[in-house]
Amino acid sequence: MRAGGEDAAAALRARNCLGATALYEAVRYRHVGVVDLLMSEAPELSALPTEDGSSPLYLAAAIQSLEMVKAIVRPSLDGTTSPASYSGPEGRTALHAATFNTRGISREIAQEILNWEPEGPALLTKVDSSGRTPLHLAIRHSSDSVIDLFLNVPTSEELARMSDNHGSFPVHVAAIAGRTAAIDKLAQKCPDFYEMVDAQGRNLLHCAVQHNQYTLVRYICQNDTFSMLLNAVDYYGNTPLHLAAKYGFPGIVSLLLQTMTVKSCIANKDGLTAQDLAIHELLPRREAYYILSQQYLTLSCLRDSGAIVTLDGLYNYLANVKPEMEEASNEEDNLSKTGTIGSVLIATVAFAAAFTVPGGFVADDHPSAGAAVMARRFAFRAFAVSDTLALVCSATATCFFIYAGTGEVAPDKRRRYSLLPRL
């Protein structure tokens, strides 16, 4: 390469049909030695991304290769900083890519990129096309050590207060993922965390409830630091208890109701309390008449705790519960009855075919009396196997349909057993 002149230099900068250079391909095929050599001889190749915007540094971080990341970001022998590009597809940077913890070395790669002067530290506040910072992705995909690394930089408070395009702050992402330790650290960085709401006006407890993070909700309920979140309302007037009732999470409803400061009488903008919402969500469901369904258990928790039902909620319950129950029950019964008739007919025909075989049987006055005339032919054997399978499968399907038609069986099991014979 050193003696090749302009032709060799042009060859090094050549791109393939995807716009990738030799350096990018060396990274893609994990040739650490080639990457090291190319960075020594032609470091400017690291500044050339592919057509989709993916740079060699981004790819090296994405495939979790610490050696190649070091080779790309290290200064040259004369002290010149690396000209590498950090760009990636959809606006992501190499630091975004480093947060995906697939080999357990995310912290080392992230640390190497942050040490890269002058670009590294600034990457913490770069956002992708969805407005997410590396901290957003680290909370979702990385270990606690990577989150600690990001929150120990001088700009960590600014980083913790950056929201994405949906208005979600890092505390919301941590709540959705159930990252209790991350929420503690973020709460220390942002003492006003209870004022951080997303595009729907929901705080971190709303998000934890909506995504059924039972352990995190229990931690919040038991920690006085988060007490101001318990009765907070979103832009629709819903408290966390409203959401737990709406989505049918009886465990979380029970946790919230055990906290003395939680008020079950709060009505949202539609004038509905948590118990009203539970009723509204229960009625359209097929399991409305099944007492062990999650939605029914949710309603039972609220009712047993003395939660308030408004006139609208009570009227809706009395006017609709019986028709909904009858409709759901009739639908399940009709489905199982239709399937049962079909499977019984198939079983009957298959059983009769076993006694009326093609070609008949050998007469009593002949050798092999009583055997099928065509018993030695391949087509007859195929018929025998097919008829046996039809008889066995239809009999099994009949049993499934009969079980699915039993009213005492849970609706989800009834649907499952009624659909099995159709597979």
> What CATH number corresponds to the domain at position 27?
1.25.40.20
Domain end: 150, 181, 215, which one? 150
Flag whether 228 is in a domain: no
Closest-CA residue to 213 (of 247, 188, 170, 168): 247
Flag whether 258 is in a domain: no
pLDDT category of residue 314 using cuts at 50, 70 and 90:
low
d(Cα 410, Cα 403) in Å, to the nearest integer? Answer: 11
Per-residue pLDDT tens digits for 273-312 = 999 999 888 765 545 456 678 888 998 899 888 888 886 6
Flag whether 259 is in a domain: no
- Terminal Cα distance for the chain, rounded: 63
User: How high is the pLDDT of residue 207?
Assistant: 98
User: How high is the pLDDT of residue 421?
Assistant: 56
Domain end: 150, 182, 212, which one? 150
d(Cα 211, Cα 192) in Å, to the nearest integer? Answer: 23
Q: Which residues contact residue 27 at a Cβ distance below 8 angstroms, ignoring those fewer than 6 apart?
A: 35, 56, 59, 60, 63, 65, 68, 72
Flag whether 380 is in a domain: yes
Per residue, what are the HEC states of 197-257?
A: CCCCCCCHHHHHHHCCCHHHHHHHHCCHHHHHHCCCCCCCCCCHHHHHHHHCCHHHHHHHH
Flag whether 246 is in a domain: no
User: How high is the pLDDT of residue 34?
Assistant: 96
d(Cα 140, Cα 99) in Å, to the nearest integer? Answer: 9
Q: Pick the range with the lowest mean pLDDT from 7-11, 74-78, 195-199, 379-383.
A: 7-11
d(Cα 185, Cα 403) in Å, to the nearest integer? Answer: 52
Question: Looking at the predicted structure, is the pLDDT value of residue 223 above 90?
Answer: yes
Average confidence (pLDDT) over 351-356 = 80
Give the three-class secondary structure for 124: helix
**Rounded to 5 degrees, what angle do the CA atoms 84, 140, 30 make?**
40
Of 126-135, 327-336, 349-358, 407-416, which has the strongest mean pLDDT?
126-135
Flag whether 320 is in a domain: no
User: How high is the pLDDT of residue 340?
Assistant: 77
Token pair of 284 as six digits = 């359209």
Domain boundaries, position 117? 1-133+143-150
User: How high is the pLDDT of residue 288?
Assistant: 47
DSSP assignment string, 126-175 = ---TT---HHHHHHHHS-HHHHHHHHTSTTHHHHHT---TT---HHHHHH
Flag whether 319 is in a domain: no
Flag whether 334 is in a domain: yes
Per-residue pLDDT tens digits for 241-274 = 999 999 999 999 999 999 999 999 999 998 899 9
Token pair of 233 as six digits = 């309302």
Give the three-class secondary structure for 1: coil
Average confidence (pLDDT) over 53-68 = 97
User: How high is the pLDDT of residue 309?
Assistant: 80
Q: Pick the range with the lowest mean pLDDT from 122-126, 316-320, 419-423.
A: 419-423
pLDDT category of residue 7 using cuts at 50, 70 and 90:
low
d(Cα 35, Cα 67) in Å, to the nearest integer? Answer: 9
Q: Which residues contact residue 21 at a Cβ distance below 8 angstroms, ignoring those fewer than 6 apart?
A: 12, 13, 14, 15, 45, 48, 56
Domain end: 101, 121, 150, which one? 150
Question: Looking at the predicted structure, is the pLDDT value of residue 82 above 50?
Answer: yes
Chain centre to alpha carbon of residue 98: 21
Question: Looking at the predicted structure, is the pLDDT value of residue 110 above 90?
Answer: yes
Between residues 340 and 128, the one the model is more confident about = 128
Q: Per the structure, how many domains does the chain have?
A: 2
CB–CB of 418/286 below 8 Å?
no
CB–CB of 57/94 below 8 Å?
yes
Question: Looking at the predicted structure, is the pLDDT value of residue 336 above 80?
Answer: no
Average confidence (pLDDT) over 57-63 = 97
CB–CB of 418/409 below 8 Å?
no
**Rounded to 5 degrees, what angle do the CA atoms 281, 285, 289 make?**
105
The torsion angles phi and psi of 93, rounded to 5 degrees, stand at -115, 175
Give the three-class secondary structure for 361: strand
